[in-house]
Structure formats: C-alpha cells, structure tokens
Copies of this chain bind each other. A is one copy, B any other.
Amino acid sequence: MESIPEENRYALRGVSSGKEEVHQAIQNLDQGLFPDAFCRILPDLAGDNNYVSVMHADGAGTKSSLAYIYWKETGDLSVWEGIAQDAIVMNTDDLLCAGIYSDILLVSTIGRSKHKIPGEIISTLIQGTEKFLEELRKYGSSIYSAGGETADVGDLVRTIIVDASVYARAEKSRIIRNKTVQAGDVIVGLASDGLTNWDSSWNSGIGSNGLTSARHDLLHSEYLIKYPESLDGATPKNVVYQGPWKVTDTPAEIPVNVGKAILSPTRTFIPLMLPILKNYQDKIHGMIHTTGGGHTKCLHYLPAGIKIIKNNFPTLPWIFQQIHKYSGISWKQMYSTFNMGIRMEIYTDLHTAEMIIKEASKMNLGAYIIGHCEPTSDHALEIHHTRDTKIYYP
C-alpha cells in the first residue's frame, strides 16, 4: 500500500467516481417530466398522455480493457459476451429503477482499434448481445436489438469501447417516483454477488463501476509491460497495475480465477423485479441502481426531509475486500464508488420488503433489509460500515 492520498489516486488515473463535472455541464438541461425518477422521463412520442418515452445511454466502461487482457492471456473469447451483457444491463437496470422493464429497443455502439481487435471479437459482442436479449425475453421483458454501429477508430480508441443506448415506452402511472420515499420505509438491498438461478456463472459482485480502480489496484505490474495499450500512458506509473494478482491466479476464497472474478458480467435484476413491479409497483416508493457514486447515488434522487440509514450490509464480497486492502481507499470512498455487494436498493414498506426477500430467496438471490429512512430536517445519508464505524454523507 502506498502513500498517495485517495482523492489523488482518482485524479491521477483520470476518473471521477461522482461525475461532478458532468452534473455541472447538464444542470441547465430539461430534467423531463419527473425529475425524481431514476431516468429522464419524456412525453410519449406517440402522443398518448397516459404513456411516456425514455431514452438512455450507458456502457461497459473500462471493463473492456480487462476483457482485452484476459482474452490476450487465455484466448477465451467468451469474456466479450460478458462485456455485451455489461453494456446492456447498465441500461436495463437503470430503466428498472424507473419502473420500466419491457417494450425496450437497444442499439450498440462499438469503437475499436482494428490493429488490436479482430473481427471475431466484434462477432462475439454482437452475438452476445442477441443471446442476452433473448435471455431477458425469457423472463418476460420485451426487449429487442435495433442494430448499431461499429466504427474503426484506432486514432481514438486504444482497444475497444462498448456502449449501448435504449429507448422504452411505458405507462406514465407506473413510473417509479423516488419522491414518494418516506420516513418509515425500509431499504431492501439486492446482492451483486453469488450465483442466482438465472446466472450462468458465479458473480464476484463487481458490476461495471469502479473498474479502473479494480484493475489498477488488483492486477500485477507485468500487465503494464505486456499490454501498454490497456491503459492511458499518461497516468503516473505509481498508480497503475499496483496489485498482487495475475488474471489466471485462483485464490482459494473464490470459485473462479481473478480475471473472471473482475470480469463477472453485471447481473440484471429483471427476473426478480419484473413480476414484483407488475404486481406491486404501487408499493415500491423508490429504486436506486448503485452505479456511479455507489451508495451515495440515492442522495441525487431521494427527497429532502429523509435521513437514509444503511446499517445492515451483508458480509463484504471478496472483491471489495481485496480492493480496499490493496488500494488503501478509505471506507467512505469505497461506499461512494463501489456497490459493496448491494447493486440495487428498493425503498418500500416492511411487508413488501419481506415479500421481495422471500421471492429473491427462492431464486437464490441475496436480498436483505440493509437500512431504513427516518425523518430529518436535513438531506442526509449515514452508512454503518461496522457497529462502531459510522460514515456520514454528503
């Protein structure tokens, strides 16, 4: 562990966990019909006042840089199917938080360096997209690919960048408005790790956020020499690939190698939440996808007058323990960067919470009451890392 202050590690690596600059740039733009919904909600393009339109964009981020290293080291093309899934789920599970789970179209945008990324990777990404959308349709989500764009842009992209955009149409009355979160609500947390009935393999829980940190804090410096194209050459050498692990290492604590652990495809919560939203949507007061900003993301959407107390996290998954151990990042920063084992939060009453947890259990998904909401005159978030370590935001 080194002596570089944590806020500097981020700046040095050219990432920001909270996107302050972006929030500043978009602050004057129209916030849509329901600024408290998790996605920007617009009037229905078909002109029906009972419906709304949503369009959204997200991607697999720097996770594709690790997929590149893993593929180079092992020849295993299947990791690119995981990257396709990451780009999709970062979109669909944002929509899910707005109460939207069906009538979705998706386009993919792929930019690659043709020198580095052969056509078989593009094929695997495109086929992986179709395959995962078919999976989602099995769980009742009507979601279809509408095509996409693959561009050879080696002068811009070192290896490959994989993004997706979605459009959805939904009933206006069924949009989840986070402003309805109230004192007395409990918070159900859905696990990002483990092996549910619908996963095809064990998941470390990492998701698609904080991957620049996860890669550089966990992976071995030999990758700096072997794959300089996997990172920004301008980043100071003392913050890149500082970890102990090679991607093919197999720690005793986890059932897959380190590379596959960090590459675990972002799990969708559609199989659990689609039937719940269909039948009990009026009971769900708020839903937050703990992506950029991690467990502080709720502060962007939840109403004033509510103190959010998260005091019952399950055991921290191995991957986040490792990142903490090797990065030296404070717990406060950890919770505002990573999902820490809980990738979705549902704000609801105790009765509905217990029902969700029971349904999750049947599907082998970890689900816990991780906290609750109290009245306050402030706009506050309290995370109890341990009984004695309380962290206060903002």
- Of residues 218 to 259 in A, which have CB atoms within 8 Å of B's CB atoms? 229-232, 234-235
Given A42-B146, A48-B46, A105-B167, are A59 and B151 neighbors across the interface (CB < 8 Å)? yes
Name the CB-closest residue of B to A25. Answer: B123
Instruction: Tell whether, in the assembled complex, residue A113 and residue B232 are in contact, meaning their CB atoms are under 8 Å apart.
Output: yes
Interface check A361, CB cutoff 8 A: no
Interface check A312, CB cutoff 8 A: no
List B contacts of A147 (CB < 8 A): 26, 29, 39-40, 55-57
List B contacts of A136 (CB < 8 A): none
Q: How many residues of A contact B (CB 8 A)?
A: 78
List B contacts of A26 (CB < 8 A): 126, 147
- Of residues 273 to 300 in A, which have CB atoms within 8 Å of B's CB atoms? none
Q: Once bound together, how far apart are the Cα atoms of A53 and B45, in whole Å? A: 10
Instruction: Tell whether, in the assembled complex, residue B58 and residue A149 are in contact, meaning their CB atoms are under 8 Å apart.
Output: yes
Interface check A327, CB cutoff 8 A: no
User: Which among A46, A130, A151 has the highest number of chain B CB atoms within 10 Å?
Assistant: A151
Q: Once bound together, how far apart are the Cα atoms of A143 and B48, in whole Å? A: 17
Instruction: Tell whether, in the assembled complex, residue B109 and residue A59 are in contact, meaning their CB atoms are under 8 Å apart.
Output: yes
- Of residues 188 to 238 in A, which have CB atoms within 8 Å of B's CB atoms? 212, 215, 229-232, 234-235
Given A46-B46, A126-B25, A158-B157, are A14 and B53 neighbors across the interface (CB < 8 Å)? no
* Copies of this chain, count: 2
- Of residues 72 to 122 in A, which have CB atoms within 8 Å of B's CB atoms? 103, 105-109, 111, 113-116, 119, 122
Interface check A333, CB cutoff 8 A: no
Interface check A145, CB cutoff 8 A: yes
Of B14, B53, B103, B149, which one neighbours A59 at CB under 8 angstroms? B149
Output the least CB separation between A10 and chain B (Å): 9
Q: Pick out which of these stretches binds chain B: A60-68, A334-342, A347-355, A364-372.
A: A60-68
Of B40, B45, B157, B165, which one neighbours A57 at CB under 8 angstroms? B165
Mostly, the A contact residues are: mixed
Q: Pick out which of these stretches binds chain B: A1-9, A16-24, A172-180, A382-390.
A: A16-24
User: Which among A15, A21, A45, A215 has the highest number of chain B CB atoms within 10 Å?
Assistant: A45
Instruction: Tell whether, in the assembled complex, residue B105 and residue A57 are in contact, meaning their CB atoms are under 8 Å apart.
Output: no
Q: Once bound together, how far apart are the Cα atoms of A64 and B155, in whole Å? A: 10
Instruction: Tell whether, in the assembled complex, residue B115 and residue A14 are in contact, meaning their CB atoms are under 8 Å apart.
Output: yes
List B contacts of A15 (CB < 8 A): 114, 152-154
List B contacts of A55 (CB < 8 A): 105-107, 146-147, 165, 167
Interface check A169, CB cutoff 8 A: yes
Interface check A163, CB cutoff 8 A: yes
Instruction: Tell whether, in the assembled complex, residue A159 and residue B158 are in contact, meaning their CB atoms are under 8 Å apart.
Output: no
Given A232-B113, A234-B229, are A155 and B21 neighbors across the interface (CB < 8 Å)? no
Instruction: Tell whether, in the assembled complex, residue A234 and residue B115 are in contact, meaning their CB atoms are under 8 Å apart.
Output: yes
Interface check A184, CB cutoff 8 A: no
The 7 A-B residue pairs with the shortest CB-CB distance, nearest first, are: A55-B146, A165-B165, A14-B154, A167-B167, A21-B119, A14-B114, A154-B232
